[in-house]
């Protein structure tokens, strides 16, 4: 029986190990962190176990639903009608349904019709290939008009993608619009999902299932090198020791690949190294009062350097109010490595501006998480020169969230791809 290793204990690595174990392989999984889950991992927020980064589930997350069914977790999946808001130039507006759009005072009726029609048609579109090669900004401007782009998209893009904004793939942005846009009960009502107990419910069940199937899991185990000889995988190096394997599946973010795998074909190495990522500094607040009634609040205000606020307790009710404030930016941005306290001070000012009834006294707790590879940046024709998952080295498979382009990073896509690569 082939001895198999999976590198990375995020949803993709776990799903890959799960599928390999089902298919009868002898599997060992290595995770660098002290816990499983990668970007979807939980932390102890002083008594509340919750995701470090906000997570919600959409109605089209079919690979996730299939896994939940296999793990007998279907009953843990809950749906809730959620509201969306828009904080635009110092004013809070309702958002996310046709009435809200009609009431929004900053666009003409014609612009609103164009925007609404484009959003609606995007949720119906199936063929994204026709958009390949087009950049997202041109696509949005053409469909919705320059003015609408400037009012509704420009700032959000700038706060999420910074200097990468002019070179984003239209299919990639379309896939995000479609996923969220299709998570609705009706055209008037958005509906989002969550797991009772959060992502940890899935992670714990997967871990139990893997252990039951004999998979060995090593935490705090950052693989140092993948060893290969004469074009074939030999094993991997951990703590300076060699561990032999016949097959290795790497699910770590692509920027790490060139650090742990030497002597890949030069063109592949160059491609892995050339993929840009956006980092995220994500704050989570425990509050006595709600910020707003919205789950998702888009923010477009010249005094605020965030794309939005995600008020998780408006999706999954908690004892206290829970709000995430993400600051996206390239890791190279001078702000990325600022002190946590600077982010906390800045975020508090935003919260007080959005809801002037909130005071310092309403803040129970706050935590700051930071991750450099929160999102690969996908330019037009992104997949064209991505090296194949089945690498040039026999027995070595390499994938990360980039490989489900044009879909955005998500648990469901990582689960789906993790299982697929196990069966290549
Ligand atoms: C801010 C934010 C919000 C998000 N919101 C949502 C959402 O609402 N809904 C949703 O479905 N998804 C969401 N996601 C995305 C989701 O969390 C990811 O798509 C998913 O976790 C990716 O899983 P993965 O296993 O592919 O990668 P990762 O989670 O990146 O896992 C890779 C793992 O590899 C490990 N690793 C790295 N190097 C090594 C090494 N040398 N040796 C061993 N291990 C190593 C890492 O520690 C990590 O655990 C969000 C992500 C972020 C950052």
CATH code for the domain of 412: 3.50.50.60
Residue-wise pLDDT tens digits, 372-390: 999 999 999 998 879 999 9
Nearest one of 163, 136, 154 to 89, comparing CA atoms: 154
Category of 35 on φ-ψ map: left (φ > 0), alpha (ψ -120 to 50) or beta:
beta
- For tokens 């816990």, what's the residue? 35
Q: Which atom of ligand 1 is nearest to the CA of 414?
A: 26
DSSP letter assigned to residue 306: -
CB 277 within 8 A of CB 377: yes
Distance 299 CA to ligand 1 centre (A): 25
Same domain for 359 and 402? no
Same domain for 13 and 105? no
Same domain for 35 and 126? no
Q: What is the CA radius of gyration of the chain?
A: 22
Q: Which domain covers residue 134, as residue numbers?
A: 96-189
Same domain for 127 and 164? yes
Q: Which atom of ligand 1 is nearest to the CA of 411?
A: 11
Distance 113 CA to ligand 1 centre (A): 37
What does each C-alpha distance from 92 to 74, 131, 327 come to in angstroms?
A: 36, 33, 20
Where is the domain boundary, 144, 167, 189? 189
Residue 313 belongs to a domain = yes
Question: What span, in angstroms and rounded, lies between the C-alpha atoms of 135 and 147?
Answer: 18
Nearest one of 286, 280, 293 to 354, comparing CA atoms: 293
**Number of structural domains in the chain:** 3
Ranges in the chain, pLDDT < 70: none
CB 84 within 8 A of CB 294: yes
What pLDDT does 325 receive? 98
Residue 87 belongs to a domain = no
What pLDDT does 329 receive? 95
Residue-wise pLDDT tens digits, 242-284: 999 999 999 999 999 999 999 999 999 999 988 999 999 999 9
What pLDDT does 1 receive? 76
Residue 81 belongs to a domain = no
Q: Whose CA is nearest to atom 5 of ligand 1?
A: 55
CB 366 within 8 A of CB 344: yes
C-alpha count within 13 angstroms, C-beta hemisphere, residue 282: 25
What pLDDT does 384 receive? 87
Question: What span, in angstroms and rounded, lies between the C-alpha atoms of 169 and 407?
Answer: 11
What does each C-alpha distance from 67 to 273, 291, 351 come to in angstroms?
A: 32, 34, 37
Nearest one of 88, 85, 84 to 107, comparing CA atoms: 88
Task: Give the list of residues 6+ apart from residue 181 with CB closer than 8 angstroms, or none.
Answer: 119, 120, 122, 123
For residue 86, the surrounding DSSP H or E stretch is strand 84-88
Angle between helices 109-124 and 136-144 in degrees, nearest 10: 130
Same domain for 315 and 343? yes
CATH number of the domain enclosing 126: 1.10.3110
DSSP letter assigned to residue 296: E
What pTM did the predictor assign? 0.97
Residues with CB under 6 A from ligand 1: 7-13, 30-33, 38-40, 53-56, 222-223, 251-253, 256, 260, 280, 282, 326, 371, 374, 400-401, 409-412, 414
Distance 372 CA to ligand 1 centre (A): 11
Secondary structure tally for the chain: helices H, strands E: 13, 20
Residue 412 belongs to a domain = yes
Residue 160 belongs to a domain = yes
What pLDDT does 347 receive? 98
Residue 288 belongs to a domain = yes
């Amino acid at each position: 029986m082939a001895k198999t290793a999976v590198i990375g204990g995020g949803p993709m690595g776990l799903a890959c190990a799960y599928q390999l174990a089902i298919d009868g392989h002898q599997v060992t999984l290595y995770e660098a962190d002290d816990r499983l889950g990668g970007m979807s991992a939980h932390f102890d927020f002083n008594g509340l176990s919750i995701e470090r980064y906000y997570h919600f589930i959409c109605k089209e997350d079919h690979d996730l639903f299939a896994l939940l069914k296999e793990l007998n977790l279907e009953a843990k999946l809950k749906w809730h009608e959620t509201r969306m808001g828009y904080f635009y130039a110092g004013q809070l507006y309702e958002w996310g349904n046709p009435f809200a759009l009609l009431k929004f005072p900053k666009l003409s009726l014609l612009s609103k019709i164009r925007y609404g029609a484009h959003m609606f048609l995007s949720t119906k579109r199936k063929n994204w290939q026709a958009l390949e090669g087009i950049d997202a900004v041109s696509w949005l401007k053409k469909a919705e008009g320059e003015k609408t782009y400037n009012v509704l998209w420009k700032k959000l893009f700038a706060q999420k993608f910074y200097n990468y904004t002019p070179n984003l793939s239209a299919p990639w942005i379309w896939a995000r619009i479609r996923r969220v846009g299709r998570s609705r009960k009706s055209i008037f009502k958005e509906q989002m999902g969550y797991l009772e107990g959060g992502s940890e419910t899935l992670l714990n069940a997967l871990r139990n299932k893997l252990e039951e199937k004999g998979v060995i899991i090593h935490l705090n185990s950052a693989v140092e090198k993948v060893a290969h000889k004469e074009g074939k995988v030999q094993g991997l190096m951990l703590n300076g020791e060699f561990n032999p394997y016949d097959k290795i599946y790497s699910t770590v973010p692509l920027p790490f690949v060139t650090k742990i795998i030497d002597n890949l074909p030069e063109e592949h190495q160059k491609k892995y190294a050339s993929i840009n990522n956006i980092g995220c500094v994500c704050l989570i607040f425990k509050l006595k009062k709600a910020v707003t009634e919205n789950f998702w609040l888009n923010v477009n205000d010249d005094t605020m350097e965030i794309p939005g606020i995600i008020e998780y307790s408006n999706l999954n009710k908690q004892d206290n109010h829970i709000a995430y404030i993400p600051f996206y930016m390239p890791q190279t941005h001078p702000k990325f490595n600022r002190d946590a306290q600077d982010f906390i001070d800045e975020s508090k000012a935003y919260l007080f501006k959005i809801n002037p009834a909130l005071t310092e006294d309403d803040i129970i707790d706050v935590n700051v998480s930071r991750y450099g590879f929160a999102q690969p940046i996908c330019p037009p024709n992104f997949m064209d020169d991505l090296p194949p998952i089945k690498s040039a080295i026999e027995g070595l498979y390499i994938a990360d969230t980039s490989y489900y382009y044009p879909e955005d990073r998500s648990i469901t896509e990582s689960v789906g791809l993790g299982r697929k690569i196990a069966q290549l």
